[in-house]
Amino acid sequence: MATLEIHDLHVSVEAENGPREILRGVDLTVKQGETHAIMGPNGSGKSTLAYSLAGHPKYTVTGGTVTLDGEDVLAMSVDERARAGVFLAMQYPVEVPGVSVSNFLRTSATAIRGEAPKLRTWVKEVKEAMARLQMDPAFAERNVNEGFSGGEKKRHEILQLELLKPKIAILDETDSGLDVDALRIVSEGVNRVRESGEIGTLLITHYTRILRYIKPDYVHVFAAGRIAESGGPELADKLEAEGYEAYVKGGATL
């Protein structure tokens, strides 16, 4: 079983007046088969954690370690991380001009599997996965993220998850901008992948809404660049009732 271990992670970004520390000592272990929800106020550094794990060049790791089964993730390139099985669904996915969804998925699958999937079985796999997400087959021929609605972007993320089968998936604000029907379809997609038992999920969200559909094993409260509290699903209920005030009081915000 794959294990992602984050230990005392410190990350800075380059701001106008010099580097600014955003992550201030994050400790977290995610195992395949587990679902961890990371919840917290806006600006607490949740997306910074996601980007840092994926290897976004804007974020500089200034301390701590991240390992996947003991392998140093921080020493890996973005591609190597993907190949090792770490997947990030972006909060604001970028447009990839001139590349169709179908080609993008096949290129990603090739990079991750180390060989190109057989065309015929691949086309079938994509079709079936799209049908499960109630996506129009014509979607496969559209350019990645070009004019995608919020819901289409999210479905595209989950489509990648179903097809690329990462060991550890980081889903950042997967629920933002979804109406209730789309939220249900997207959540069912995540749950299908979870049921395989072969994926560890880091579900990052500001709202408790998605946790009605995707039941986490662990809930962590993120505040001021670190995990302020960890618990079981009951912690999400407490946050729903009480909000984040207790965690941001006393100047705990960045």
To the nearest whole angstrom, how small is the minimum distance from the Cβ of residue 173 to ligand ADP? 8
- Tell which residue, 186, 224, 236, 183, has the closest CA to residue 36: 236
Identify the residue among 12, 32, 35, 44 touching ligand ADP (CB under 6 A).
Answer: 44
Identify the residue among 12, 32, 35, 48 touching ligand ADP (CB under 6 A).
Answer: 48
x/- binding map, residues 21-40, to ligand ADP, per CB under 6 A? -x-----------------x
Distances (CA, A) of 237 to 56, 205, 221, 224, 249: 32, 14, 12, 21, 20
Please provide the distance, in angstroms rounded to a whole number, between the alpha carbons at the two ends of the chain.
Answer: 35
For residue 143, report the phi and psi dihedrals to the nearest 5 degrees: -75, 145
For residue 162, report the phi and psi dihedrals to the nearest 5 degrees: -65, -35
Q: Which is closer to Mg ion, CB of 92 or CB of 197?
A: 92
Binders in 19-48 for Mg ion, by CB under 5 A: 42, 46-47
| 226 and 9 Cβ atoms separated by less than 8 Å | no
Q: Does 254 bind ligand ADP (CB under 6 A)?
A: yes
Binders in 137-156 for ligand ADP, by CB under 6 A: none
| 8 and 74 Cβ atoms separated by less than 8 Å | no
Residues of this chain that interact with ligand ADP (CB under 6 A) are 13, 15, 22, 40, 42-48, 58, 254
Residues of this chain that interact with Mg ion (CB under 5 A) are 42, 46-47
